[in-house]
Amino acid sequence: MKCRVCKCHVVIELRQHNSAFCAEHFLAFCRRQVERAVDKFDMFRPDDKILVAVSGGKDSLALWDMLVELGYDADGLVIGLGIGEYSEASTEFARTFARDRGLTLHEYSLDAEHGFTVPSAAQATKRVPCSSCGLSKRHIFDSVATSGGYDVIVTGHNLDDEAAVLFGNVSRWQREYLARQSPVLPAANGFPRKAKPLVRLGEREMAAYCVLSNIEYVVEECPMAAGNKHLEYKGLLNDMEVASPGAKHAFYFGFLDRAADLFASAQDETSGSAEDVLSPCSVCGSPSSNDICSFCKLVSLAAVPVEVEITARPDMIDK
Ligand code: AMP
Ligand code: FES
Ligand code: ZN
Ligand code: ZN
């Protein structure tokens, strides 16, 4: 098999695209997929100031690399979640990436800023770790992007992530989540624009991108992910993809093209219409539909010293 572009030695075959590429043309292919997603969903413009949420994993580091290679003005943000060595190693990969390329990386530590970590929050709230993790990340993404004057915050969610989330939402017909399942959410009600430029690329491509670009990243999964349903859904979708290359793409983009509009009204039913005015949280000033926002409620509950173990307890796993 030969590279689709230059006919030289192939390093990767992409069955879903009926293509194979050499290293140089695979990297160019990935960047083109990002450009196509950015253009199609009008995620941002060439002169926008971009904040990339970097976890230290392959997806967000590859995304940051591609945006810089494409000429965008993109800074990084890494949040120290306090998940033991996993968080320390993740943050270190983000630091090394930024330092080697002379890029700006904002660092934010949950423990230093708010006196809690994801494991301690899971114990304090008696909920799955991902719940306080997700809530904290969303809040910090929004507040750092807003205070830093960024036009958009981008995350490294890829096609596998988005197809798995879609699968979960469809299997329970969660209309209000389906209404928000878009690769771009416009700025609204004081919240910044959010975008997922990797929706046309999968995990395998992102791992290959990092290896071929000499990007070192944290390979381990989060130790608190045990029992996370999305990992199971990814497995199911991978089986589908083997049987029918392109199935993930058809599932996810078919939804966006042909079904997403059917759920638009569900967003208004649950979160109010776009005209609804949110008021500033009385503690942190972030837009909120309550006097105190969910993040500040979490802080008041979780910011107490407790002995914690860095493992997901079976009784905390989402059923
Ligand atoms: P996850 O929720 O862990 O699947 O990560 C999805 C995306 O969220 C990543 O690709 C990053 O863009 C972002 N993200 C995850 N963890 C962090 C972190 N600790 N700091 C900054 N961004 C993160
Ligand atoms: Fe949920 Fe790490 S806390 S995957
Ligand atoms: Zn080639
Ligand atoms: Zn608040």
pLDDT tens string 213-267: 999 999 998 999 877 888 899 999 999 999 999 999 999 999 999 999 999 887 7
Q: Which CATH number fits domain 34-233+278-302: 3.90.105.10, 3.40.50.620, 3.40.50.970, 2.30.30.60?
A: 3.40.50.620
pLDDT at 229 (0 to 100): 85
pLDDT at 255 (0 to 100): 98
The low-confidence residues of the chain, meaning pLDDT below 70, are 268-276, 304-319
Ligand 1 cavity residues, CB under 6 Å: 53-55, 59-60, 77-79, 81, 137, 155-157, 161
pLDDT at 265 (0 to 100): 85
Pocket mutation for ligand 2, best pick of 218, 228, 309 (most atoms within 8 Å of C-beta): 228
- At position 10, the amino acid (one-letter code) is V
Ligand 3 centroid to residue 257 C-alpha, Å:
32
Question: Whole-structure pTM over 0.95, yes or no?
Answer: no
Q: Is residue 79 within 6 Å of ligand 2 at its C-beta?
A: no
Token pair recorded at residue 308: 């914690």
- Domains of the chain, residue spans: 34-233+278-302
Token pair recorded at residue 103: 């890029």
SS3 (DSSP) at 233: helix
Nearest residue CA, atom 3 of ligand 1?
55
Ligand 2 centroid to residue 222 C-alpha, Å:
6
Alpha-carbon gap, residue 166 to 163, rounded angstroms: 5
Mean pLDDT of the chain: 92
Pocket mutation for ligand 1, best pick of 113, 137, 230 (most atoms within 8 Å of C-beta): 137
